[in-house]
Amino acid sequence: MKTNKGRSGISINGNKASIRLWAPKAKNAFIKLHESGEKLALTSEKYGYWTLDTDQLKDGSLYQYILDDKDPLPDPASVSQPQGVHGPSEVVDLNTYQWTDADWNNVALEDYIIYELHTGTFTPESNFAGIESKLDYLVSLGINAIEIMPVAQFPGGRNWGYDGVFPYAVQNTYGGPKGLQQLVDACHQKGIAVVLDVVYNHLGPEGNYFGEYGHYFTEKYNTPWGNAINFDDAGCDAVREYFIENVLMWFRDFHVDALRMDAVHAVKDFGPEHILSEIKSRVSELVAKTGRQHYLIVECDLNDTRFINPQDKAGFGMDSQWIDEFHHALRITAGGDQTGYYSDFNGIADLAKSYSDAYVYDGQYSPHRDRKFGVKATDNPGKQFIVFSQNHDQVGNRMLGERSSELFSFEMQKLMAGAVLTAPFLPMLFMGEEYSEPHRFMYFVSHTDPELAEAVRKGRKAEFAAFHAQGEAPDPVAEETFINSQLQWNLPEQGDHLVMLNFYKALIALRKKLPALHHLDRKHVKASANEEQRTLILQRKHHVQEAVILMNFSVNIQNLSLPDTAQTWHKQFDSADVQWNGPRAAANAAEGGQTVPVQPESFLIFINE
């Protein structure tokens, strides 16, 4: 239905401001000008929309809506909330920014080396300018794509971002919409793509006025955060358009290169065209119009290739997805606890399966779910899977927020990095892991509603019952929890932290250099695990070049045999080398079929020459 297509909110066209509001529940609607207090009546249109063109609003004007003579409310399509989630909305002309990235081309998806970060804790400045100040550092590390945790306006100044309540508004304490535009532009100047984390499965509780306006939610389905967003129930047309336009806004007006959509398994849509598929179609239209490539990445725990299969094969057309199962298998292999959702994973055999098949569960029985789970992903290319040894969830959703730096030895941390960066998938780092940051990354919020804050505290404690966690979770509302989650930028230049940083730099550079590691050809991947030894041999190939990665997850030296070929195998990387503070380097070359001693908790990379 084309009648309701178009951007909600306020747009500036010359000296005029065009207002478009969806409020089908209202019998009358006004816009209140914050400076003067004047109220302007909106005109009722079809399908619950209200409109007005006026010369009384300009860039920087504050405003609210009044529905049926009730209390003033912020705009659900606001792009700026300078006074927080309960304050007036601000008009921002997104077309005034002077972009300098006309020659920018998005990095090819298969080349992405992703670095996930949280704006508030990445630097002491806790804003976009702080991120910009570290771009040269990220370039020197080898990063070409940053993934920014959600920036949609949330209550207060401390939040992971998944409690956002204004999907179009950029968090005021981070720098607002113009600050984000500046950051994206700066990233492009450095050759870095920007992936923005967005949340389309729920909206946060505090500052959520959507129910006053229209049928944004449905009681047909529940999510872990309450009623689902209405993508297929009565009144859903405008809701679908609202979120589709949000996607297009990030790409068109902010030049964002990719979106990572949070927990799409909680996006409920049983209509004839799934909302994700419609988003893909509309993004494809934008790409055809502008010539700029954009990617859609999803977090999905369903092991269902329908999400990432192309639309012409009955899929939703998403470009890539996070693979938590690789992380879980790797973590158990490294010696992590088998509690909660980790109970489904047995370690190194599962890790080998993930290297070969992407999904660990692709049709077999899952004890944790008590049912068969998943489908095979045989025909999906490596670029459709993103793997990691840490991320915000897997660190911050631990009760105490411990990083791998606290849970595993220095040698094991290097081995886990090797397991990720030699995988035939897209690798992702979590901020600080590259120099073994010891500060925990804990869950934090800054809700102003005392009852809600207390509910969050109690919810965190209940959440860890399945993990048999002992003690008290850090207070998520306390400012100290947030401050103690910030990276310590004096560390990368010191001792073991500097060694680890240089280790990551060298390993990332090698991944880019060697065709057998760089090209994500899943058809030439072989992974063999020895559960008794706790060793894994990963073989990858591109044209004539073959790479063999020997991994030893045990605390003993293990002897592993190189493939029996006529060629000599030449060592390219050795995590046990003394330059990485390892115990002892292996020989630089070995013949085919020769046994090589692999040091405890280490890996070796060989190629044929």
- Residues annotated as part of the active site: 262, 299
b/e map of 215-229 (b: 16 or more CB within 10 Å)?
A: bbbbeebebebebbb
Q: How far apart, in whole angstroms, are the C-alpha atoms of residue 199 and residue 256?
A: 15
Entry field: residues in the chain: 609
- Strand order of the β-sheet with 9-13 is 9-13, 16-22, 49-54, 43-44
By CB atoms closer than 10 A (0-12, 13-18, 19+), residue 579 is exposed
User: Quick one: which of 508, 507, 546, 502 has its CA closest to 524?
Assistant: 546
Q: How far apart, in whole angstroms, are the C-alpha atoms of residue 558 and residue 493?
A: 33
How many Cβ atoms sit within 10 Å of the Cβ of residue 61? Answer: 19
| Residue 541 β-bridge partners | 546
User: Quick one: which of 160, 150, 354, 403 has its CA closest to 259?
Assistant: 150
- Whether 82 contacts 60, CB under 8 Å: no
Q: How far apart, in whole angstroms, are the C-alpha atoms of residue 518 and residue 508?
A: 10
By CB atoms closer than 10 A (0-12, 13-18, 19+), residue 335 is middle
Q: How far apart, in whole angstroms, are the C-alpha atoms of residue 24 and residue 525?
A: 55
User: Quick one: which of 541, 587, 588, 534 has its CA closest to 563?
Assistant: 541
By CB atoms closer than 10 A (0-12, 13-18, 19+), residue 139 is middle
Q: How far apart, in whole angstroms, are the C-alpha atoms of residue 323 and residue 114?
A: 14
Q: Measured between alpha carbons, how far is residue 249 from residues 6, 56, 129, 174, 294 in Å?
A: 11, 24, 21, 19, 12
The amino acid that residue 43 corresponds to is: T
DSSP characters for 80-91?
Answer: --TT-TTS-EE-
> Any alpha helices (H) in 297-401, and if so which ranges?
324-333, 348-357, 392-396
Angle at 226 between CA 239 and CA 268, to 5 degrees: 50
- Whether 382 contacts 426, CB under 8 Å: yes
Q: Which tokens go with 127?
A: 């804003």
DSSP summary character for residue 585: P
The amino acid that residue 113 corresponds to is: I
Q: How far apart, in whole angstroms, are the C-alpha atoms of residue 93 and residue 124?
A: 29
Q: How far apart, in whole angstroms, are the C-alpha atoms of residue 170 and residue 119?
A: 12
User: Quick one: which of 377, 231, 232, 226 has its CA closest to 302?
Assistant: 377
Handedness of CA 309, 521, 194, 188 (dihedral sign): negative
DSSP summary character for residue 592: T
User: Quick one: which of 565, 309, 572 has its CA closest to 421?
Assistant: 572
